[in-house]
Amino acid sequence: MSRITCVLNVRSEVLSRLCLLLSLLFVQSAHGEPRPIELHILDAPPLTFVNDPRGNGIVGDIAVQAMVKAGYAVKIHVLPWTRAQKHVSEERDHLIAPLSRIPSREDHFTWIASIMPMERAFFSLDRQVRNFAEARDTYHKIGVGLGSAQEDILRAEGFRDDQIYRLTIGDNPAQMLLMGRIDAWFNGVPESRYIWPKVSQRKLLMSPVNSHADLYLACSKQCSPKMVEDLREAVEMLRKDGTIDRVHDRYLPQ
């Protein structure tokens, strides 16, 4: 038998409870005790949670279920997101989710399977834009998650360094928008719509979707081909049997 363990670089009683809950989940392996595989996640609700009794979020739950289904023990790590990406890329056989598959990351990871599509847009309180060109001319400071794909996307679209305001992933950009410290928030649509009602009742203006990049379960650049194939098949099975849709709807009811 094997168990899921957590290694967390943050302090929280809830995190401790989550680790205890995860430690109760076991998987039988026909080949004996499997070695634990590190899975790096972050607190980016509703995609991934590290402090919610319901589980690890849409992508987090699917990643864990795929690993269990494939017969791998799970060892969850929570590091600052930029550091987590560097660590996973440079190690061997470490997993990370959710990771957007964008050109700047393409050669640094082994891309196992897409978990869900991700649409991104600009969110503001008083100045709605239609596209990247309007956003470049309209917004002086645009909040993005530190280490997120949003920063790379804006740079690729020609935004200046002084326009991009990097903030800790979570509700920090929403809080900064509410306080008027940033003019807009460029972020994933599901995450922003989930976070904003918990921050304010003010109307949040959203631009049309300006970017699409699927969220993946990814592995280190040096990654076991067998593990890649095992996990790819497991994710596909979870997709075919409707598990991914059910997990999505549990965190984001229609």
192-237 pLDDT, tens digit per residue, is: 999 999 999 999 999 999 999 999 999 999 999 999 999 999 999 9
What token pair was written down for 218? 């990814």
Domain co-membership, 162 together with 207: yes
Domain that holds residue 186: 119-212
Banded pLDDT at 5 (limits 50, 70, 90)? low
Q: Decide if pLDDT at 142 tops 70.
A: yes
Whole-angstrom distance, CA of residue 177 vs CA of residue 157: 22
Q: Do 164 and 144 contact (CB within 8 A), yes or no?
A: yes
Mean pLDDT across 57-76 = 97
Mean pLDDT across 179-195 = 96
Beta strands in 155-208 (DSSP E): 164-167, 184-188, 205-206
- CATH number for the domain spanning 143: value is 3.40.190.10
Q: What pLDDT sits at residue 253?
A: 83
Domain co-membership, 132 together with 204: yes
* Stretch (H or E) spanning 183: none
Domain co-membership, 85 together with 148: no
Q: Decide if pLDDT at 10 tops 80.
A: no
Domain co-membership, 63 together with 176: no
Banded pLDDT at 7 (limits 50, 70, 90)? low
Q: What pLDDT sits at residue 52?
A: 84
Domain co-membership, 139 together with 95: no
Q: Is the peptide bond before 208 cis (omega within 30 degrees of 0)?
A: no
Nearest CA to 122 among 133, 131, 113, 114? 131
- Any long-range contacts for 23-31 (C-beta under 8 Å, 24+ apart)? 25/68, 26/1, 26/2, 27/1, 27/2, 27/68, 27/71, 27/72, 27/73, 28/1, 29/1, 29/2, 29/71, 30/71, 31/71
Domain co-membership, 18 together with 71: yes
Banded pLDDT at 24 (limits 50, 70, 90)? very low
Between the two ends of the chain, the Cα-to-Cα distance in Å is: 37
Query: Does residue 80 sit in helix, strand or coil?
Result: coil
Q: Do 99 and 194 contact (CB within 8 A), yes or no?
A: no
Number of domains in the chain: 2
Share of the chain above pLDDT 90, in %: 83
Q: Do 124 and 185 contact (CB within 8 A), yes or no?
A: yes
Whole-angstrom distance, CA of residue 173 vs CA of residue 169: 8
Banded pLDDT at 6 (limits 50, 70, 90)? low
Q: Do 102 and 149 contact (CB within 8 A), yes or no?
A: yes
Banded pLDDT at 128 (limits 50, 70, 90)? very high
* Stretch (H or E) spanning 171: none
Q: What pLDDT sits at residue 14?
A: 45
- The pTM of this model reads 0.85
Q: What pLDDT sits at residue 35?
A: 77
Q: What pLDDT sits at residue 12?
A: 45
Domain co-membership, 186 together with 73: no
Q: What are the C-alpha distances in Å from 185 to residues 142, 164, 168, 198?
A: 5, 10, 13, 16
Whole-angstrom distance, CA of residue 217 vs CA of residue 235: 9
Domain co-membership, 9 together with 66: yes
Domain co-membership, 94 together with 148: no
Amino acid at 127: R
Domain co-membership, 127 together with 223: no
